[in-house]
Amino acid sequence: MDDPERWLLSAEERGNPATDLPGWTAGNLCTPLVHGSVYFERLVEAVEALDEGDHLFFTDWRGDPDEQLRPGGPTVAQLFTEAVRRGVTVRGLVWRSHLDGASFSKEENRALDREIEHGGGEVILDQRVRRFGSHHQKFVVLRHDQDASRDVAFVGGIDLCHSRRDDAEHRGDPQSLAMSEAYGSTPPWHDVQLELRGPAVHVLDTVFRERWDDPHSADTDHPIAWVRDKLNRARTDGDPLPPQLPAPPACGPHLVQNLRTYPAIRPPYPFAPQGERSIARGYTKAIERARRLVYLEDQYMWSAEVAQLFADALRTNPELHLVVIVPRVPDQDGAFASRPQYVGRWQALELCRKAGPDRVHVFDVENHEGTPVYVHAKVCVVDDVWASVGSDNFNRRSWTHDSELSSAVLDTTRDEREPRDPGGGGDGARVFARDLRLELAREHTDRAPDGSEDADLLDPEAFVATLEASAEALDAWYAGGRVGPRPRGRLRRHEPEELSLGTRLWATPVYRLLDDPDGRPLRLRLRGKF
């Protein structure tokens, strides 16, 4: 990539001079890990390779200590406490969370804290967020004090908790969470994590250290929770971390830019005193360069502010197609849980469809038994050049209000398959971005995993036509009474639920205030900027 700044943010564009993060790093090797079972297997292998003097740092939105990372174990708690016994420094930052009764994970996160603390590690239950906000970052950093070339990090959308250990068959994790009845007793779960090697590992180490070293209490502004944490002997302040190890050497062809969201809070984060919105800015820069295809997989796809970015790109570029993979229904039943989400998605998709009639293609996914798959992945691929995998969803909450982390990847290796330059801007298709899109599309259309059936998936126009035809065939099979063999593929056309005026009147303010709040400083809100 002759000029990475055509796609990646400059330091000025990141907009946070207080951070120690570099603009981006070169010489990395990135491997997408599609499905929780694949990620957990690699995580076990990597943690078991740590020994005395090494470091294991992790953050999590939800953590279940008894989640089995392989059939029969080890569990999360066993894997991490056994590492402590070998002399590994284990430190964790886990969102303290809201009440379990509101479908959150307060008690589970406390249990993970207790188990690892009992085993000799340190876990902070962290509530340094805006009111009703969360720490949503999910990453693990593994450092080797004797051989930096073995360092590895895992970052993306997969928590170390129940329901995440699913595979390509999508029959769900045997240790499941309660979800909407539509997803059955073991909800199928689609997710993606990224394995990173090279200098980017050192950057993620810095992301962890910035938050760990924040001198403000992890129980800031929550006195009742502070008392309970003290009574339960939960850790709210960590011991100093060991000195940071040297950056790993270059080992691959990938440029990586670690993008983040931190809200503007008081007391401020010392590493982001005005917050940071580099995720929003990074996506904005990439999508403004889109000419032929934006491919998204997203848990929510809410927010008119975020959808406006795609709508503007569709209006400006008449050959641009937007493909979006979302869950069929929200994760929880009940009007209060689901209706505000329907409001947000309907607004976002209508805005895009008005901007690009016949060029917005929205699908949901089911397994071969017909059970919907909950799409939790947060993936974006632009013109087979720029790709990102992270914890952030395409909504205002993820772009302004919660803590988030995403990795944008630019491959220096051009892809020789036609079309070699789908965007027409001279950047050329890149191997990592195209391979990520194709791997996901093969699963959704039941294509051979070796790429032997990729011919109609490469060109953006052919790709869109193939997905539409696959969904049309499956929809027609259902409409015809499911007569004959089930068509190949797992995609269904997704139509957001239309709500009555009365429902919209109460659900819209709930959506704006609770589901999709705004964490920007007032001056940016007034200007409509990120």
User: 458 Cβ partners below 8 Å, 6+ apart?
Assistant: 417, 418, 419, 434, 438
Residue 4 lies in a domain: no
Q: Is residue 260 part of a domain?
A: no
What does the DSSP 8-state code read for residue 487?
Answer: P
The reply to whether 240 and 379 lie within a common domain is no
Q: Could you read off the pLDDT of 423-452 as tens digits, one per residue?
A: 999 999 999 999 999 999 999 999 999 999
pLDDT of 219 above 70: no
- The percentage of residues in the chain with a pLDDT greater than 90, rounded to a whole number, is 83
Phi, psi of 139 (to 5 degrees): -150, 155
In this prediction, residues 216-236 reach a mean pLDDT of: 64
With a pLDDT cut of 70, the percent of the chain lying above it is 94
Whether 338 and 470 map to the same domain: the answer is yes
Q: What is the mean pLDDT of residues 246-250?
A: 98
In the predicted model, what is the mean pLDDT of residues 490-516?
91
Report pLDDT digits (tens) over 275-307.
Answer: 999 999 999 999 999 999 999 999 998 788 899
Q: Are residues 244 and 296 in the same domain?
A: no
Residue 136 belongs to some domain of the structure: yes
Residue in 311, 295, 494 with CA at minimum distance from that of residue 379 = 295
What's the pLDDT tens digit per position in 93-126?
999 874 544 444 456 557 777 888 877 899 998 9
Q: What's the domain count of the chain?
A: 2
> 186 and 70: one domain?
yes
In a domain, 10, yes or no: no
Of 252, 268, 291, which closes a domain? 252
The answer to whether residue 418 is domain-embedded is yes
Concatenated DSSP letters of 180-191: -GGG-SS--EE-
* pLDDT, tens only, 154-200: 999 999 999 999 999 999 999 999 999 999 999 999 999 999 999 99
Domain that holds residue 375: 276-515
Q: Do the beta carbons of residue 380 and residue 387 sit within 8 Å? A: yes
pLDDT of residue 116: 84
Does residue 313 sit in the same domain as residue 444? Answer: yes
N-terminal to C-terminal alpha carbon distance within the chain: 27
Residue 191 lies in a domain: yes
Q: Which residue has the tokens 């207790």?
A: 114
Residues contacting 490, CB < 8 A, separation 6+: 170, 365, 366, 367, 368, 373, 443, 444, 445, 446, 474
Q: Would the pLDDT of 210 be above 70?
A: yes
Residue 381 maps to a domain? yes
Check whether 52 has a pLDDT greater than 80. yes
Do residues 381 and 435 both lie within one domain?
yes
Query: H helices within 19-105, ranges in order?
Result: 36-48, 76-85
Query: Any idea of the CA torsion for 390, 395, 401, 402, to the nearest 10 degrees?
Result: -30
DSSP codes joined into one string, 219-280: TTT-HHHHHHHHHTT---SPPPPPPPPPPPPP-SSEEEEEEEEE---SSPBTTBBTBEEHHH
142 with 286, same domain: the answer is no
Nearest alpha-carbon partner for 302 in 256, 371, 374, 351: 351
Overall size of the chain counted in residues:
530
SS3 418: coil
- Average confidence (pLDDT) over 10-23: 95
Neighbours of 146 (CB within 10 A): 10
What's the pLDDT tens digit per position in 314-356? Answer: 999 999 999 999 999 999 999 999 999 999 999 999 999 999 9
- The pLDDT-based confidence of 528 (bands split at 50, 70, 90) is confident
Q: Are strands 374-375 and 189-190 parallel, antiparallel or unpaired?
A: parallel
Same domain, 216 and 326: no
- Give the per-residue pLDDT at 233: 63
SS3 464: helix
DSSP annotation string for 386-414: EEEEES--SSHIIIIISBEEEEEEEESSB
Q: pLDDT band at 236, cuts 50/70/90?
A: low
CA atoms within 13 A on the CB side of 6: 13
Q: Residue 71's pLDDT is what? A: 96
Residue 121's domain is classified under what CATH number?
3.30.870.10
Give me the pLDDT at residue 118, please.
78
Shared domain for 297 and 398, answered yes or no, is yes
| pLDDT confidence tier of residue 526, bands split at 50, 70 and 90 | confident
Same domain for 421 and 350? yes
Q: Which residue in this structure is represented by tokens 């971005």?
A: 433
Same domain, 69 and 211: yes
Dist CA 400 CA 516 (whole Å): 10
State both tokens at 89.
């420094």
Model pLDDT, residue 229: 64
For residue 431, the number of C-alpha atoms closer than 13 Å in the C-beta half-sphere is: 13
| pLDDT computed for residue 237 by the predictor | 74
Whole-number Å distance between alpha carbons of 407 and 254: 11
Count the Cβ atoms, other than its own, within 10 Å of residue 514. Answer: 12
Among 217, 236, 252, the domain boundary falls at 252
> Residue 2: its pLDDT value, please?
79
Look at residue 304 in the predicted model and tell me its pLDDT. 87
pLDDT on residue 101 = 45
Rounded Cα–Cα distance for residues 354 and 359 (Å): 10
User: How much is the mean pLDDT over the chain?
Assistant: 93
The amino acid at 426: G
The one-character DSSP state at 89 is: E
- For residue 100, the model assigns a pLDDT of 44
Question: What is the greatest pairwise CA distance in the chain?
Answer: 65
**Which of 203, 237, 252 finishes a domain?**
252
Mean pLDDT of 381-394: 97
Return the pLDDT at 43: 98
In a domain, 3, yes or no: no
Considering the domain architecture, whether residues 231 and 282 belong to the same structural domain is answered as: no
**pLDDT for 30:** 98
